[in-house]
Amino acid sequence: MSTIITSIKNPLIKQMRKLHRPKQRQEENLFLLEGTNLLELACKVNYNLETVCYTSNWQQRYPQLAEEVGKQAQRLELVSDEVLKAIATTVNPDGIVASAKPAPLSLPTTNISLGLVVERLQDPGNLGTIIRTAVASQVDTLWLSSDSVDIYNPKVLRASAGEWFRLPMAISNDLTQLVKNYQQQGLEIIATLPTASKTYWDIDLTQPSLILLGNESGGLSPELASLATQQVKIPLANGVESLNVAIATALLLYEQLRQTSRGVGE
């Protein structure tokens, strides 16, 4: 580790700041991990870290984690508070930011009990919350359409509360064909539609299933919705037109968990 970096014009700092943008993350094949919680979880799963920047105050508060981070990172840099704030995407960073290379995204193609298919989702907070809920409710896999929010968006990672590392995920350029492939394997394809005649607790969710999730404002595309073998609705009162997609997802996932009695902790 070199001496402390105090200038935001430092070439390394400029490079890391570029990772705020999706295009640069893709071109550099790097993304940002921000905060003690995410770095601690990254170390637990042995995620490959490229460059780690932290302040002296952070090092003093977390000496053991600093040592663990040092073992996994390709490069360590001590930076000033001003530089750390420039690298981070949060208003009040807690003293550490790292860049990391994306691990290969690979998913099982058979023996799926429960998967999520997410189409054109735009809000990173929604995706992060869905990921967190999916891990808590024992979802096996998640597919995201290529025109959805960037899976490496820092807000996605933060909203997942670190569970991002624990859910197998992949990007698909053709969700329709992907769903058809699983349909041929006998999986139930479940979509929530306001016009459905059944509520989500009226159907059998104990069978291997894919749950289709759509855009926050537009919902599922007609092409993907037409593949559903089960269409369900979430009953709403008092003139409410719809629920947040992350909340709707949680309702379906926990109804599935209740029906299958795969209790948390088993």
Query: 141-177 pLDDT, tens per residue?
Result: 999 999 999 999 999 999 999 999 999 999 999 999 9
User: Residue 19 phi/psi, 5° resolution?
Assistant: -75, 0
Ordered structural domains, the chain, with CATH: 11-100 (3.30.1330.30), 114-260 (3.40.1280.10)
> What pLDDT is stored for residue 263 in this prediction?
42
Average pLDDT over residues 184-203: 93
> What pLDDT is stored for residue 241 in this prediction?
87
Name the least confident of 62-76, 86-100, 104-118, 239-253. 104-118
CA distance 29 to 99: 10
> What pLDDT is stored for residue 83 in this prediction?
98
User: Tens digits of per-residue pLDDT, 213-259?
Assistant: 999 888 999 999 999 999 999 999 999 988 899 999 999 999 999 99
Average pLDDT over residues 57-73: 96
Element holding 182 (H helix, E strand): helix 175-184
Confidence of residue 110 (pLDDT cuts 50, 70, 90): low
Sign of the alpha-carbon dihedral angle for 167, 170, 175, 179: negative
Average pLDDT over residues 70-94: 96
> What pLDDT is stored for residue 150 in this prediction?
96
pLDDT at 6 over 70: yes
> What pLDDT is stored for residue 265 in this prediction?
41
Confidence of residue 118 (pLDDT cuts 50, 70, 90): very high
Confidence of residue 206 (pLDDT cuts 50, 70, 90): very high
Average pLDDT over residues 190-204: 93
Buried/exposed 9-23: b ≥16 CB within 10 Å, e otherwise: eeebbeebbebeeee
Q: Which amino acid is at 70?
A: G
Average pLDDT over residues 114-141: 96
pLDDT at 197 over 50: yes
Q: What is the pTM of this model?
A: 0.92
